[in-house]
Amino acid sequence: MTTYASQAFTWAPGNCSIKFTHSEEPLILPTKTGPKRAFPELCRDIVPACSLNPFLFNGHLQTAWTAVKYDGPSIHYKRRTFAAEDPGFKGHFAVDCVVAPPPSSGKASDGGPEDQGLRDDPVGIGHTSLPPRTTYFSNDEFDALASDDKKPLLIALHGLSGGSYEVYLRHVLAPLVEQSKNGSVAGLSAGEWECLVVNSRGCAGSKITSSILYNARATWDLRQTVKWCRKTWPNRPLFGIGFSLGANILTNYVGEEGLSCLLSAACVVSNPWKLEVSSLALQRTWLGMEVYSKTMGNHMRSLFERHREQVLENKALDEKRILSLKYLHQFDREVQCATWGYPTEGAYYRDASSADSVLAIRIPFLALHAEDDPIACDEAVPYEEIKQNPYTVICATSSGGHLGWFEFGGGRWHAKPMVAFLNAMARDIDHENLQPAALPAHGPRGGHKTPLEFEPMRRKAYVPSSSQ
């Protein structure tokens, strides 16, 4: 069941309506101060009114504006390259931890190679070209990271072919890690939060060391990172946020982990949810094909070109065919299917989609969506599944595009509800005393008893030697 709450607003150019969808039997959250809160009520209270740039008056304009170059908030990172522990997904991936700006850079927005820190990977993997304001941890710095502090830690995932440098991501991180007057603490942020970004393999200047790329189901590097965080900082509450493809991956991860999830709460922005639905929607229109799909296809082809030597270790791939591709679904057909054993891109999309994963989530989970998103289309949103799970709430605005939500003056509205949600979860909610919610049964509620059982995380692609 569901309840809807359209936020009241006075009509004006740029003002958006806000709709919440959630279970009729809400999750009850214990608080650190005593009074309990219904999860949907908390979400409605922390989400502010949405007023966007009136000149960007539809989803296409909001989405197109993400391509306009501007600095955005300055976030400095130190990177560590990890070797994958799962032998089935061998290779390396890079994790960027937010750190205090080096003394020489102050509040400068460009950072770059002159920033203090190592420019070469001490692990010996190397990189293609580090993003601005990013250097490597020295081995001594990395070994000194462990602590017993209780600061909340946010683990972020970026969108398709992006990285920790993305402006939409930094708009969320910046208010969480604002520096105190005393500067850094142990080389990391001196703000209330610690934050890090898991870069998909080959993204953000990281180097691919095997033929194994990432995909929309690539939860293995995130899982390893979360376990490392728990071991390194045993007392820190862990939280997650994902954007676009990273939102799909994070949703899948939280569903896969279920009651064993090490995250206390999570949120996602512009999740494409049902990948086949979103892909077919793109192919129905000229803008979808010739602008969005072609742009994303070009980005993935460029990633292949940067790492062609390693990727072509997979002899099932045909370099000439890959270089001739124009659209994202063609790249997925030619590369992802050959890499992961899917017969068609449709089979890959259906298997990697996160819509059913919603039913397995067992931590407070907030999704943010724009109804006019031309890439993560509204018809792909699993509203009915969200109604079935009291742990999940979706907040849908009438406008905002894909990872847009540009306000007049350059702000990004999506950062406000995400930061407010994360702060509420970290400051107010007593996660240790959160009791499992009573979940509605999937399927018939009386009468005929079916011999079948629905398992939302039962994937078609699996490792034969292990249970799913």
DSSP state, 335? I
Q: What is the chain's mean pLDDT, rounded? A: 91
Q: Which domains does the chain have, with CATH numbers?
A: 15-274+353-432 (3.40.50.1820), 275-352 (no CATH)
What average pLDDT does this structure show over 162-183? Answer: 83
Q: How confident is the model at residue 450 (pLDDT cuts 50, 70, 90)?
A: confident
Alpha carbon of 247 to those of 128, 207, 369: distances in Å?
25, 23, 11
Residues 200-217 have pLDDT tens digits of 999 999 999 999 889 999
Tell me the pairing of strands 238-243 and 134-136: unpaired
Q: How confident is the model at residue 128 (pLDDT cuts 50, 70, 90)?
A: confident
Helix (H, G, I), strand (E, B) or coil at 387: helix
Nearest-angstrom CA–CA distance, 180 and 286:
49
Is-contact 215 200, C-beta < 8 A?
A: no
What average pLDDT does this structure show over 361-384? Answer: 98
Sign of the Cα pseudo-torsion (300, 171, 66, 69, in order): negative
Is residue 466 over pLDDT 90? no
pTM of the model: 0.93
Residues 190-204 have pLDDT tens digits of 579 999 999 999 999
Residues 272-330 have pLDDT tens digits of 999 999 999 999 999 999 999 999 999 999 999 999 999 999 999 999 999 999 999 99
Is residue 441 over pLDDT 90? no
Give the pLDDT confidence score for residue 448 in this predicted structure. Answer: 73
Nearest-angstrom CA–CA distance, 377 and 368:
13
Is-contact 242 250, C-beta < 8 A?
A: yes
406 Cβ neighbours under 8 A, 6+ residues apart: 52, 53, 56, 62, 65, 412, 413
Give the pLDDT confidence score for residue 444 in this predicted structure. Answer: 54
Q: Which two tokens stand for residue 318?
A: 């045909």
Q: Which two tokens stand for residue 37?
A: 């809160």
- Which residues participate in catalysis according to the annotation? 244, 373, 402
Residues 55-82 have pLDDT tens digits of 999 999 999 999 998 889 999 999 999 9
Is residue 37 over pLDDT 60? yes
Q: How confident is the model at residue 6 (pLDDT cuts 50, 70, 90)?
A: low
Fill in the amino acid letter for 384: E
Give the pLDDT confidence score for residue 184 in this predicted structure. Answer: 40
Closest among 341, 376, 374 to 355, alpha carbons compared: 376
